[in-house]
Structure 1
Amino acid sequence: MSKDPSHPNIVLILADNLGWGELGCYGGGALRGAPTPRIDDFSTEGLLLHNFNVESDCVPTRSALMTGRHPIRTGCRQSVPAGFPQGLTAWEKTLPECLKQRGYATAHHGKWHLGDIPGRYPSDRGFDEWFGIPRTTDESQFTSAVGFDAEVAELPYIMKGIAGQDSENVCVYDLDKRRLIDEMLVDKSKDWLSRQAAAEVPFFLYHPLVHLHFPTLPHPDFERTTGNGEFADSMAEMDYRVGQLLDHIDDIGVRENTVVIFASDNGPEFRPPYRGTAGPWSGTYHTAMEGSLRVPFIIRWPGKVPKNVTSNETVHVTDIFTTILAMTGAEKPLDRPIDGIDQTKFLQNPASERSERDGFLFYIKDELRAVKWKHWKLHLVWEPKVNQSSGKLESPYLFNIMRDPKEETDILAYNTWVLQPMMRLRANFEKSLKNDPAPPDPLKNM
């Protein structure tokens, strides 16, 4: 472990499909049928962001987190089925690869979803070791599905790997293992953290949870504990698992020099019966609504980030890459555009510092859907619910999302001045794309 303040340990916990409105500290918790006391307490130990923004679904957000680059640049534009090309190209420089150059030990325990072939597993991309699933968790339903044929469809596996060695299958990922996997992941992370506490090196743990991705099924120990169904039981388990990691950080004596970040990869699921909530915001993931963009984010850094503070300043998932590198003194890649902005000053002094970011462009796949600038949101394509798109808009819709969080009243006619900074933001980004062409979409012409 590291006790050197210039080499803080980093623990990054990422929930899956956790909507803005699910946790107690974001207005949910007991109101959603499952109190979340551990994460709620954790939120009082640091800074909680109300305006943390991500990409449209699992793969784009995870690629942005690992590279500090918008997925339109990396080619990781969408989640794709098993058996199709997917993941980060070898050219991309990942967060753990950058941290390794700074002397960090690195581990990944959880859902990867950025490559499922040799050369693209976590242990090939900067992690010393990994354990989890290479793609996503709805695959746990495969072997129980009517008519499933293992000769034409890939079996899903829980896997493990060590850098410099071939990754290997551990067991088939089925519905029984779906209920057990978050417990397995916590056990792996606790063991790895204990080993790092005995070493003289700083560490980076990336722990992408499986909860609350569908099928949202709790561990047997949590079944029927809330009385409000399996989704609520799973939320209670997720809160408990996060608490286990936080307790272990305390138990091994590394709390004071460890940055702990908890966030979600995207907004809530839209499919019943696993549909979640984004609280006051409209929409789910796979849309450009605020309910897709905004997700929970909490950071604790003892002595550096103030306790029990909230902020509505805009932060983007790409910023986490750049900010972690700045916190640790690691160098960011200089041979490519990096979209993430260093937010360290803001995070350490949110009362008087402003976010370094005014806005960003929001793509779904390769289509620019919306532009967000300060408290304004411009929709170029209108799809308030998944599969209910009206296509490109002749006249875009403009919303003030502070005054109109549901994005219900278009006010462009009264505020055309806002188009100036938004179109400037768009022009500058698109100019940079011309000098940094993205890899082709492998599914576009299929």
Structure 2
Amino acid sequence: MQKIYAVAHKTGPWLMGVFLLMSGAAHAFERPNIIIIMADDLGWNDVGYHGSEIETPHLDALARDGRELTKFYVNSVCSPTRASLMTGQNAMRLGITSPLPKIAPKGLPVELNTLPDYLRRLDYQTALVGKWHLGVKKPYHPNRRGFDTFYGNLSGAVGYWDHVHGGHYDWQRNGKTVREEGYVTHLQAREAVRVVRMRDKARPLFLLFSLGAPHLPNEAPQAAIDAYAHIADTKRRIHAAMVSELDIAVGQLLAALDEEGMSDNTLVWFMSDNGGLTQYRGMPDGFYRILNGAKWLWGDDIPIRFIEFMRTNAEDGGADNTPLKGAKASVKEGGIRVPGIVRWPGNFAEGKFATRISVLDMLPTLLAAAGGAALPVEPHDGRNFLPALRGEKSLPPAPFVTQAFNGNQAIFDAQWKFLLQGDGTKLLYDIDADPSETTDLASARPDIVARLEKRLAALPKAKNLAVPLWKVAMDPDEFGGVERKPPLAEFVDRELDRQ
């Protein structure tokens, strides 16, 4: 007995080590599925959990079950945010500070790896459902930028029923046009659910569910519109219906995760690509006289389509960013601070996450969650917030810099937000104490202004990929309308490649 005890005493630590190793092997790290759900032009006050009159029960539940990101920042328009998501680089470094029109000769720089590129190295299957908006020519196609499968539209927005953008039918699967009837949000939801159910169950899934809603044009099923008959403003009423359809789509995807037994090991990140488009109501005096006179002269020719494109973007927005100032295309809070939620059951701490975090931080954070923190990546401007989201340690607010396509810039540091406008005007806010940007402190704190202006000037900036306005005017990016040109999937093979 004494000998047996002695042997056990000597070998116990070794045996325990073997047991722990075996236990670790049996419970090896399982990479989570990663699903990003991106709304398009969703306003701060367009979700129920922010007190909106719009009913969003599925998003409200996601916010309750996960962590609401109360200070989540993006760029002020679509293409820049999507580019930053893919690369972790700020818009100025990328040279993408404005929406990329269909005639843009370039897109997301091909020399850069993307988030799905990195995840594929970790054996993820990758899918994009919905909007791309980072280049329509072949080298920039999603299937060449890390996505195994792509279903949706290349352009910035299509008609919800006709699937037309700028005269082109723009609805495809992996580079081939697909002719389908149906409301865009419904089709996107159906495909996202299909991707989940048809996945390779032996490998983790990365899905970017890039919804078109509630971006213009204002179109929704009549029953959804009728549900908001109490909203007097027609544009707001249709916008609310579009948001409700988006919420239903989110609910369908989350239900599919439950049905497939995936929810517990799926990291879901909900966001909007920028702030909501509001009704500016700021067209110059005499604008409509000019518009009507132009229609009399040219009918439905190119100049009129461009004027109408400008008008709809200026006047047809139905979003609400209250209590934040500004809207889409602005570096005010209403343009860049958006609804955000993360959920990963058993992995994230409970309660709201009140530290500033941005789209730039998503790439390093998601790679860390996927077990790829040590993966060699290209220079990026983000920070890994996984430990903070887990509640393991606190991190200071993320630095963030952005530029609108009108030249206005904003840079965040600690509690400060400095704005340098295109006309040289300088504004400074203590954004933690003054999120509605009511008190300009630039004259009171010239030291902070000088420091942040110097940092802005020192940032690396690539040549801007923006297309001159006169070129866009000759072939505007209309949302919906008459199909008068070849489908965009085939058009990029023919006409655009000759430019």
TM range (shorter): 0.7 to 0.9
Q: Distance in 2 between matches of 1:366 and 1:335?
A: 31
**Residue 190 (1) aligns with residue 190 (2):** no
- Of 119, 137, 145, 1:117 maps to 137
Unpaired runs of at least 5, structure 2: 1-26, 232-236, 279-313, 472-499
Match for residue 417 of structure 2 among 374, 377, 387:
377
The residue type equivalent to 1:306 in the other structure is A
Flag the structure with larger Rg. Answer: 2
Q: Does 1:256 align with 2:264?
A: yes
Aligned to 2:440: 410
CA displacement, residues 64-114 of structure 1 (integer Å, 9 cap, x when unaligned): 001111122223221133223242121111111110000001100000101
1:295 equivalent to 2:325? Answer no
CA distance, structure 1, for counterparts of residue 163 and residue 207 of structure 2: 31
Once the two structures are superposed, the pairs formed by residues 414-425 of structure 1 within 5 Å of their partners are 414-419=444-449, 422-423=452-453, 425=455
Q: 2:348 aligns with which of 296, 305, 326?
A: 305
Q: Please say if residues 11 and 258 of structure 1, whose CA atoms lie closer than 8 Å, have aligned partners that are also in contact.
A: yes
| Counterparts of residues 237-386 of structure 1 (less than 5 Å) | 237-270=245-278, 271-307=314-350, 309-330=351-372, 334=376, 336-349=378-391, 353-355=394-396, 357=398, 359-365=399-405, 367=407, 369-381=409-421
In the alignment, does 2:195 pair up with 1:159? Answer: no
Q: Whose strand proportion is higher, 1 or 2?
A: 1
Do 2:329 and 2:335's aligned partners in 1 also have CA atoms closer than 8 Å? yes
**RMSD in angstroms over aligned alpha carbons?**
2.6
Question: Which of 378, 392, 398 is matched with 2:424 structurally?
Answer: 392
Q: Distance in 2 between matches of 1:131 and 1:340?
A: 28
Kindly indicate whether the alpha-carbon contact (under 8 Å) linking 1:107 and 1:128 is maintained by their aligned counterparts in 2. yes
Distance 1:217 1:140 in 2: 6
Instruction: Write the distance in 1 (CA, Å) between the matches of 2:377 and 2:341.
Output: 31
Quote how far apart the aligned CAs of 1:6 are.
4.0
Corresponding residue of 2:228 = 226
Change (3 A) 1:4 1:211: farther
Q: CA deviation at 1:438?
A: 2.1
Is residue 20 of structure 2 the alignment partner of residue 7 of structure 1?
no
> Identity over aligned residues, as a percent?
28
Task: Name the structure 1 match of 2:307.
Answer: none
Task: Give the number of the structure whose residues are more often helix, by fraction.
Answer: 2
The aligned runs of 1:29-108 (5 Å cut-off) are 30=53, 34-108=54-128
- 1:153-179 deviation per Cα after TM superposition (whole angstroms, max 9, x unaligned): 651311110xxxxx111138xxx75xx
Deviation at 1:136, TM superposition (A): 1.6
**What's the CA shift string for 1:238-287, capped at 9, x where partnerless?**
11111111111001101111001110000011343323111211000111
Aligned mates of 1:141, 1:9 — CA distance in 2 = 32
* 2:418 maps to amino acid: L
SS at match of 1:407: coil
- The count of residues paired between Structure 1 and Structure 2 equals 403
TM-superposed deviation, 1:41:
1.1
Q: Deviations over 1:188-226 (max 9, x none)?
A: 111111122x52101101101111101132235523123
Q: Structure 1 length normalisation: TM-score?
A: 0.83
Cα 1:126/1:366, change in 2 over 3 Å: farther
Q: 2-side partners of 1:440 and 1:375: how far apart?
A: 29
TM-score, normalised via structure 2 length: 0.75
